[in-house]
Amino acid sequence: MTALALIDAGGANLGSVRYALERLGVEARIVRDGDDLRDAERIILPGVGAAAPAMALLRERGLVEPLRATRVPLLGICLGMQLLFESSEEGDVECLGLLPGRVQRMVGTRGLRVPHMGWNGLEFVRDSALLEGVANDAGTYFVHGYAAPVTADCIAACTHGERFAAMVQRGNVVGAQFHPERSATVGARLLSNFLQWNGA
């Protein structure tokens, strides 16, 4: 297995992502410093929490510029996916800028609560090797109150009151708004696909 860097951005899902990778037979190296990304051949940026503190921690640890410059496959999970975009309405913060667009607060309606928590089906938007072996409308587990728009980079969408990007891909950059580490066999397949993916 290639050198896999798992970034500690202060998210509570760091351990669960690590265990999900171990179940696939992959040992990830926890990274807390930009210098530790130099020999990484694949990077995962998990996250749970708020955009502004997460970006502040990435800056403090010297991870922002290495992430912006990397050419290896990079997967952002949940908040980690949101940080891939240009900015977030949450704290009105500038993010990594690897994907165009602004993450916005989800709007609850009668009978639809925000944060969005629970299982929802994926709606495939375009073909991707990352979705190989996954059925359209496959259930994945979400926990979030902010979401990215459906743009040309979206490969799978989801609807919770409004339609939003559930999975994105541009070049070597991939994001999953849901938690693959908590999405049973579907999540394991998506992680496995990423581990074998060489980028676009």
Give the Cα separation of 39 and 59 in Å (integer). Answer: 20
What's residue 2's pLDDT?
Answer: 53
Question: Which residues partner with 4 through β-bridges?
Answer: 42
Structurally, how many domains does the chain consist of? 1
Amino acid at 13: N
pLDDT of residue 1: 43
pLDDT at residue 113, rounded to an integer: 86
* Domain limits for position 187: 4-196
Return the CATH number at 167.
Answer: 3.40.50.880
What is the C-alpha separation between 148 and 79, in angstroms, rounded? 10
- Is the CB of residue 95 less than 8 Å from the CB of residue 84? yes
Other CB atoms within 10 Å distance of the CB of residue 43: 25
- CB burial string 1-33: b at 16+ within 10 A, e below: eeebbbbbbbbebbebbbebbeeeebebeebee
Catalytic residues: 78, 179, 181
pLDDT in tens, the chain (200 residues): 459 999 998 766 888 999 999 999 999 999 999 999 989 999 999 988 899 999 999 999 999 999 999 999 999 999 999 999 999 999 999 999 999 999 999 987 777 888 899 999 999 999 999 999 999 999 999 999 999 999 999 999 999 989 999 999 999 999 999 999 999 999 999 999 999 998 76
